[in-house]
């Protein structure tokens, strides 16, 4: 190759490279803009252009696709993108991805797996306060839920006497006689332990009575 041809080839290459970088940057800006405008379906399309047309791939892109898919109601797709982003070398980004994955699982009532996701988010970044809040809130809820289940299992079957007293108390509540209803249930409890089957009802009456007396 002569020096003149080599020089020409180099000059032809550089503008093509500049053009691609310029187009890539424009595509990135467009994807970010559509997300910022809450145009989530368009945001998905614009982010996928980066993948399909430019071969662009990164954990940040996966996370952005996860957010756009989540808010577009495409939960399964969002889960997949968050899973990919959760193995990012960037610990903060991985933590965010784990947290969002936990939110999706929580929405599906898959509470134990959601708790595990929130825990993984904290392992990746102990300073992720959103993940910490989600973890602690769900952990406390699960603990209380387990206690409620145990209480329900241990509740006695109300006798006919207990059912009659509950019906009388219900009529008093309809007349806003909350204290009278509570006294009735407490007296019935002394005579029949199966009245404990209505403990939640009695607790509510107690709380209402205390408020009325303030």
Query: How far, in Å, CA of 126 to CA of 128, rounded?
Result: 6
The answer on pLDDT for 204 being more than 80 is: yes
CATH class of 28-130: mainly alpha
The fraction of the chain above a pLDDT of 90, given in percent, is: 51
pLDDT digits 0-9 by tens, 19-62: 777 887 788 888 888 888 989 999 999 999 988 888 888 999 99
pLDDT at 205: 86
Query: How far, in Å, CA of 60 to CA of 199, rounded?
Result: 51
pLDDT band for 18, please (50, 70, 90 cuts). Answer: low
- Tell me whether residue 16 is exposed, middle or buried, using C-beta atoms within 10 angstroms of its C-beta: 0 to 12, 13 to 18, 19 or more: exposed
CB 64 within 8 A of CB 93: no
- Tell me whether residue 153 is exposed, middle or buried, using C-beta atoms within 10 angstroms of its C-beta: 0 to 12, 13 to 18, 19 or more: exposed
| Domain spans in the chain, listed from the N-terminal domain onward | 28-130, 160-213
The answer on pLDDT for 82 being more than 60 is: yes
pLDDT digits 0-9 by tens, 94-145: 999 999 999 999 999 899 999 999 999 999 999 999 999 999 988 888 888 7
The answer on pLDDT for 90 being more than 60 is: yes
pLDDT band for 6, please (50, 70, 90 cuts). Answer: very low
Compute the half-sphere exposure of residue 121: CA atoms within 13 Å on the CB side of its CA: 28
For 56-80, what is the HEC assignment?
Answer: CCCHHHHHHHHHHHHHCCCHHHHHH
pTM of the model: 0.63
pLDDT band for 150, please (50, 70, 90 cuts). Answer: low
CB 119 within 8 A of CB 142: no
């Amino acid at each position: 190759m002569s020096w003149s041809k080599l020089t020409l080839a180099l000059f032809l290459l550089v503008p093509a490279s500049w053009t691609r970088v310029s187009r890539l940057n424009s595509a990135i800006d467009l994807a970010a803009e559509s997300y910022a405008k809450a145009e989530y379906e368009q945001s998905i399309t614009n982010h996928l252009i980066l993948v399909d047309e430019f071969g662009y791939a990164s954990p940040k892109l996966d996370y952005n696709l996860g957010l756009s898919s989540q808010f577009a109601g495409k939960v399964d797709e969002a889960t997949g993108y968050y899973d990919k982003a959760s193995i990012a070398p960037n610990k903060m980004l991985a933590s965010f991805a784990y947290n969002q994955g936990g939110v999706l699982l929580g929405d599906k009532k898959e509470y134990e797996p959601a708790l595990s996701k929130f825990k993984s988010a904290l392992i990746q970044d102990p300073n992720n306060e959103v993940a910490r809040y989600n973890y602690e809130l769900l952990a406390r809820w699960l603990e209380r839920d387990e206690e409620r289940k145990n209480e329900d299992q241990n509740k006695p079957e109300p006798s006919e006497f207990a059912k009659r007293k509950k019906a009388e108390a219900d009529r008093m509540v309809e007349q806003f006689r909350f204290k009278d209803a509570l006294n009735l249930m407490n007296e019935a409890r002394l005579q029949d332990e199966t009245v404990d089957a209505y403990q939640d009802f009695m607790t509510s009456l107690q709380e209402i009575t205390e408020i009325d007396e303030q």
